[in-house]
Chains A and B, each alone.
Chain A
Amino acid sequence: MIDRVVDVKAVSADLGGRRILHEVDLQVTTGEVVTLLGANGSGKSTLVRGVVGLVPLSGGTVELFGTPLPRFREWGRIGYVPQRVTAASGVPATVREVVAAGRLSGRGVLARFGAADRTAVDDALDVVGLRPLGRTGVAKLSGGQQQRVLIARALAGRPDLLILDEPMSGVDADSQLAIAAALEQMVAGGTSVLLVLHELGQLAALIDRSVVLGDGRVTYTGSEPPAPGDHRDADHDFLPPPAGGFGLSSSPFGVRQ
């Protein structure tokens, strides 16, 4: 299928001798926004890391843009935002220096960093709203701003597919809004998105399809947000209804516009 940007079939993965993923299927079609949901330890991070080749698979196949993962070379088409607490490292780096690292895909060692590259960095910083802070050291930024720097780094390569691992975790409200706006702009431009989330939150309106993992298996997939808290879950807490009843707006998944 030509229009499948991600095609995961019966993928299994083991970490430290323990099976983390059990024959998981996952598809993302062109222009689609798919979110992976699930409790901590459900395997959602392992799945996206397996999709980009950071975790070895013990079974199944992954195709990116129609090419099997072992033969896939067009890494410039993918913008990856790893789960990170910080964008800083042992030596200071400016926001622009970190974002410019997103321009290296498919570039020869001798290629000059030219005007087109600088424009792409500017554009990526505009999308996440950090252009005025380009010359600032990343270590000086808040956690949410650093997350936006990492998103800008992924955008700088002008990807067709964005893969984000928990972009909203530990991010302040202002940066959550900025990230939601950035993703909205990318999706409007035709970018496909696969993202791991803890809850839909600010991004609910943007999501086309949710896939829920539980203990390394797909437990739900569909265009409607899953019911918050599955009553069949072994660890589901049966709580009394809140005083005001179950209002739709109190759903952690928000309301689809």
Chain B
Amino acid sequence: MSYLTLPFIEKALLAALLVGLAAPAVGTYLVQRRLALMGDGIGHVALTGVAMGFLLGTSPVLTAVIVASLGAVAIELVRARGRASGDVALAMLFYGGLAGGVLLISLEPGGNTNLLTYLFGSILTVSGQDLVTIGVLTVGVLVVAIGLRRQLFAVCQDEEFARVSGLPVQLLNIVLAVTAALTVTVAMRVVGLLLVSALLVVPVAAAQQLTRGFAATMALAMVIGVVVSVGGVVASHPLNVGPGALIVVLAIVVFGFASLASTLLTRPTRVSP
């Protein structure tokens, strides 16, 4: 296990730890609201941001944060209006974002290598500077996801009740959307934009096989997120496979075991009174 002390592996482990914490925390709200695939949509849009960063010669993470946040707010506004044509509008946004990103990157010499890095992640190339960015964004995400948990729970559980309680529902929805966008851009270095949604959703799906409460689900999902992210990085080296994909496969394996355990442990119980 001596490879674990290699500097690039140490950075990768730290990045995995941070992303493993942040992604399921936000993912819990998306799953609660039955918007499990929102992360996927934001990921598509974020690619345009990444490409813009390359072309402008600035940090792709910064432009990705900006474009993904704008995309997430647009998705939220479409959702809130609840129009029948909403899903078509979302499709335009998702595929426009993906195609726009691929198109812009192809304008840049050597862009295709970079494209693969962001589509599938490259946690082993995380730099010290990247780590600082990931760390700051993770803290921001956790402050919102944990600090506003009662308000966000109420809004995601029953939006109309939250509105009649006098909560600033639209503001909270936009805060959640932007937080989801930040999470996606943080996680894209680890598992890539195409698999980012898996890290938001699969640990939550696994956790809720075993829990009864919301706080417990979020906590367990964060534990699972950290275990599979760090485990994926650790195991990828001896297995000689890409860590991003391995993290997602591990998460799905955990989900499989959790649902098996849930089936075996749950006796049909009748609740009274």
Contact = CB atoms under 8 A, between A and B. Distances in A.
A234 interface: no
A89 B32 CA distance: 6
B164 A75 contact: yes
A145 B273 CA distance: 9
A160 to B, nearest CB: 14
Given A89-B157, A92-B213, A157-B165, A104 B34 contact: no
A129 B273 CA distance: 8
A101 B157 contact: yes
B212 A92 contact: yes
Interface in A88-119: 89-94, 97-98, 100-102, 104-106, 109, 113
B217 A75 contact: no
Interface residues of A, number: 40
Interface string B132-164: 000000000000000110110110111011111
B156 to A, nearest CB: 7
B167 A91 contact: no
Nearest to B172: A109
> Chain B's interface: helix, strand, loop or mixed, by majority?
helix
A109 B146 CA distance: 11
Most chain A CB within 10 A, of B36, B156, B211, B273, is at B273
Interface string A211-227: 00000000000000000
A104 B214 contact: no
Interface stretch (A17-25, A135-143, A202-210, A241-249): A135-143
A170 interface: no
B165 A104 contact: yes
A85 to B, nearest CB: 12
Nearest to B153: A101
A54 B166 CA distance: 11
A140 B271 contact: yes
Interface of B: 28, 31-34, 36, 147-148, 150-151, 153-154, 156-158, 160-167, 204, 208, 211-217, 269, 271, 273
23 contacts: A53-B163, A53-B164, A54-B160, A73-B166, A75-B166, A76-B166, A80-B164, A82-B158, A89-B157, A91-B31, A91-B217, A92-B212, A92-B216, A93-B157, A94-B214, A97-B213, A97-B215, A106-B166, A135-B212, A140-B269, A145-B271, A153-B161, A174-B273
- 3 interchain residue pairs of minimum CB distance: A75-B166, A137-B212, A80-B164
Interface of A: 52-54, 73, 75-76, 78, 80, 82, 84, 89-94, 97-98, 100-102, 104-106, 109, 113, 129, 132-133, 135-137, 140-142, 145, 150, 153, 157, 174
